[in-house]
Chains A and B, each alone.
Chain A
Amino acid sequence: MIFKQYRFEPLAQASYVLGCARAKEAIVVDPSAELGAEAYVLDAADLGLSIVGVFETHVHADYVSCGRELSEMAGVPLRIHEAARGLVRYDVEPFADGAVFDLGKVRLTAVHTPGHTPESTCYVVTDRARTEEPWFVLTGDTLFVGDVGRPDLLVGDQELDVMDEAARARALWESITARLFTLPDSVEVYPAHYGGSTCGGVNMNGKVSSTIGFEKRFNLAMRQPDAAAFARFVKETAKPFPDNYARIKSYNLGLITREALRGATA
């Protein structure tokens, strides 16, 4: 098993390269344009790995993805949950809940966890050279260390937003309780953001990983008694919106060009 976390500190954003040391194959999850496609390509090569896939946990609203550039550069598919079909305006290979991707002995299983966004997906990772039991989970913007992904990053367009804030909050509670907190307590949590990011609430921790067991016990949002209390808690503990998030989301959906995005941020 090869596993590396890449952090872009100004946005407290984490992306991941993981692969099989024997098969010499790797995938990249949630690549950031701030680091750039070339950085991932060179880094994978340093590890002796060929990139065979690019995965998004969801369409991001707070940072610019380089998933498209990376998949084109490496000549490999860009994969995202099928709920993004019709929303993203570029070629992706959609997958369904439960889809399994093998890299040698390393197995990635997609767990659809709608809430932060309708297509949000967590990736449960197993190293079958050691055990069939899951070792860690890439939680995207669903479960953070100490907090959860905010359900209110809507762009104000019903067709694109698909679910409203209330429906997202309910789905998020359900996704975490039914899909993530049913994993063994020892499973490690690697989120797409950590403390300082505006994709979660004020209780996000600066630590860059946790475990399912620890979050079950001490995640304040998930300590709420039910979905309604959870929704209220998440709203009350929300941070200001991420800078320029509607336009970044539009770019990541393929609705506007990089130049148009740059013009908007300049």
Chain B
Amino acid sequence: MTPAEVRDAVADGAVLLDMRPPRPFAQEHVTGAINFQFNRADLVDRAEMALPKSQAFVVHAEPEPIARVAAQILTEAGYAVGGYLEGGLRAWLAAGLPTEMLPLLDVDEVRDRAAEFRVVDTREGFEFRHGHVPGAELLEWSRAWDRAATVPGDRPIALICGDQVRSAYVASVLQRLGKPALLVFGGMADWLERGYPIEKGK
């Protein structure tokens, strides 16, 4: 799909699935896009856990062969995929269409400025109970699509997971709703590596 066709599909209610890794997504993405990282092994399993089949999607991935394969895999799994953004972000920008970024945090900032943030852990419940940032709330990534609207947007929301794949997905869902989402790049792996304190249970 050309950038104009993608723009029109989105105006008609389609959601753009940006399947690039979290870092390039955070740097710049199509306004309103959801970050859902590609991989062939479990794309369908992950999609079926998180994304409704009643929703229309358009795919963005780079390089382009990934977008083609992703659109095909999701279509075969029963998702309504209108196509993929031809030419990627470069073509989108060349057409003068809007983009946004997702701010990044590292674990040091989360620790040093904890009071400023609502820390939301997006891993599975069992991972959360095993150890999380003190005071963090749990919002399992697979439930974010339905529950994101219930997360208060009164202060910046720092999204964290094991690294940054699930948290980037949830951050993008929140950002799409206009909430002040930030992505903790490096996640619990960095937090634990630094020897920062954790809270268990709950």
Contacts and interface: CB of A to CB of B under 8 A. Distances in A.
Contacts of A179: none
A50 B22 CA distance: 10
A48 interface: yes
Contacts of A46: 38-41
B40 A42 contact: yes
9 contacts: A22-B163, A22-B189, A45-B61, A45-B66, A49-B21, A50-B24, A73-B65, A74-B63, A75-B63
A41 B63 CA distance: 7
B75 interface: no
B114 interface: no
Given A74-B63, A75-B63, A24 B23 contact: yes
Q: B-side binding surface: helix, strand, loop or mixed?
A: loop
For chain A, give the interface size range: 10 to 19
A41 B20 CA distance: 12
A38 interface: yes
Contacts of B173: none
Interface of B: 20-24, 37-41, 61-66, 69, 163, 165, 186, 189
Given A41-B66, A42-B69, A46-B39, 13 more contacts: A22-B186, A22-B189, A24-B22, A38-B65, A41-B63, A45-B38, A45-B61, A46-B41, A47-B39, A48-B37, A49-B21, A50-B20, A73-B65
A20 B68 CA distance: 26
Which 9 pairs of residues, A with B, have the shortest CB-CB distance?
A38-B65, A46-B39, A73-B63, A45-B66, A45-B38, A41-B63, A24-B21, A46-B40, A74-B63
Contacts of B69: 42
B74 to A, nearest CB: 14
B91 to A, nearest CB: 13
Interface centre among B21, B38, B41 (most CB of A within 10 A): B21
A20 to B, nearest CB: 12
A75 B64 CA distance: 11
Contacts of A47: 39
B65 A41 contact: yes
B165 A48 contact: yes
Contacts of A50: 20-21, 23-24
A203 to B, nearest CB: 39
B42 to A, nearest CB: 10
Contacts of B186: 22
Nearest to B20: A50
A74 B62 CA distance: 8
A26 to B, nearest CB: 11
A45 B68 CA distance: 13
Contacts of B65: 38, 41-42, 73
Interface string A95-138: 00000000000000000000000000000000000000000000
A42 B65 CA distance: 8
Interface string A20-53: 0010100000000000001001100111111000
A44 to B, nearest CB: 9
A47 B42 CA distance: 12
Nearest to A50: B21
A27 to B, nearest CB: 15
A8 B115 CA distance: 55
A38 B67 CA distance: 11
A4 to B, nearest CB: 14
A74 to B, nearest CB: 5
Interface in A191-226: none
A50 B165 CA distance: 14
B31 to A, nearest CB: 22
A41 B65 CA distance: 8
B36 to A, nearest CB: 12
B40 to A, nearest CB: 5
Contacts of B163: 22
Contacts of A42: 40, 65-66, 69
Nearest to B41: A46
Interface in A39-88: 41-42, 45-50, 73-75
B23 A45 contact: no
